[in-house]
Amino acid sequence: MEKLVELLRHGQSVWQDYIERGQTRSGGLRRLVAAGLRGVTSNPSIFEKAIAGSSAYDEQVAAIIEAQPDIAVEALFELIAVEDIREAADALRPVFDESAGLDGYVSLEVSPRLAHDTEATLAAARRLWRAVDRPNLMIKVPSTPEGIPAIETLTAEGININATLMFSLRHYDAVSQAFLRGAGRAAAPERLASVASIFVSRVDTAVDKQLDTLGGAAAPALRGIIAIANAKAIYQRFRSRFDGAEFAALRARGVRVQRVLWGSTGTKDPAYSDVLYVEQLIGADTVNTLPPATLDAFMDHGRVEDTLPQALDVSQRQLAQLAQLGIDIDAVCQQLQEAGVKSFADAYEKLLEALEQKRAALRAN
C-alpha cells in the first residue's frame, strides 16, 4: 500500500469506489485507511450489490420494519445508507482531521429519480446532510442541467458537494462555475470541500464503438486514448480556472480548490492495461476513486509519475483528429451522461426491489 502514500506525494488522493457494511464492521476499511486510503464514494449500483448480495443488513431491516411496519421502501433504504455512511465517515475521520478537511470524505448520492428536478434534489440533499450529521460527508449531485443550480445553492449553504456524472469539458465548465458562484455566496467558504467527478473509461467504450464502424487507418490509432485526452483537456481547464484570477479572491479567503476526481477508472476493455486510468491520470490537486479490483491491481504493478501535465499537445491533436473523423466528443459525452443517469436510476430501482424482497422474506419468517 506504499503506492497510496507515493501518490499523495504527487498531489493525488486515492478514494475507494465501494462501500459495504462487512468491510466497515470487520475493520477492513480502517486497515485501508491506515495504509493510505483517503476517502470512499458510493452510488446506487454499489449499494444495490452490497444490500442484495449480503445478509449483513438483515438485522437492521428486521428492526426497522418491526418498529415501522408500513415504512416506504425508499425511506427504509435511506436509514440503511445513512448508517453505512456514518460508519465509513467515522473510520475516515482521522484522515479528515489530519488533513484539515482536505480528505477523509464519504460520498452519498441523492436519489437518481431526482436527476431532473432541482427543488427535489435540494430537499433530498439537505435531508441527507442533516441525517448523516458528519462534517466529512459529501452529497453527490449529478451535473445535469437541473443539477447545476442545486450544486450552486447547496455550496452556498455550506454543504460539501461531489458533483457527479460529468464526462465533457462542457459539463466541467458548468460545474466549476457553479462551485465558484456558490462558494462566493457561502458564509464560511473556507470550510467547503468539493470535487468535480469526471467519468473516464466510459468515454473510451463509447468512442471506440464509433471508431470501429469507420474505415481507414486513422480510426484504429485513436482507440483507447480519447478518454485520457479528454481528461487532460479538463485538467488543463481546471488548472487555468483555479490557478488564475478567477479564483484569486476566494483563495485569499481560504477557500480550497474544487479538485478534479477521476471516476469510472476500472478498465472495461481487456485489451487495455488494468491500471490505464490510474497511471495516466496522476497530477496535483486530483482524486482517483478506484473500485477494489483496480486498487489491488495498481498496488501490485502500477507506476507512479506525474502524467497529467505530460504531452498535452499530443492530447489536443488526438481530440482534433477525432473531430476530423466526424465524431463529436461533446455529443458522445452528453449521451453518456444521459445513459449514466438512466443506469443509476435502474440500479436504484433494482435496489428498492431487492429491499422489498428482503422485507417480505423477513416478515415471512
Question: Which residues are part of the catalytic machinery?
Answer: 140
Q: Give ∠ CA 20-22-27 in degrees, rounded to 5.
A: 110
Run of H or E including 196: strand 194-199
Report helix, strand or coil for 142. Answer: strand
Grid cell at residue 356: 422489498
The three grid cell numbers given for residue 3, joined into one nine-digit string: 503506492
Using CA atoms, how far residue 334 sits from 167, 236, 264, 282, 339, in Å, is 7, 20, 16, 25, 9
Beta bridge partners of 263: 199
Determine how β-strand 39-41 pairs with β-strand 259-263. unpaired
Residues of 209-237 as b/e, b for ≥16 C-beta within 10 angstroms? Answer: ebbeeeeeeebeebbbbbbbbbbbbbbbe
Q: What is the largest CA-CA distance in the chain?
A: 66
Contact 37, 14 (CB under 8 A): yes
Name the β-bridge partners of 138.
Answer: 107
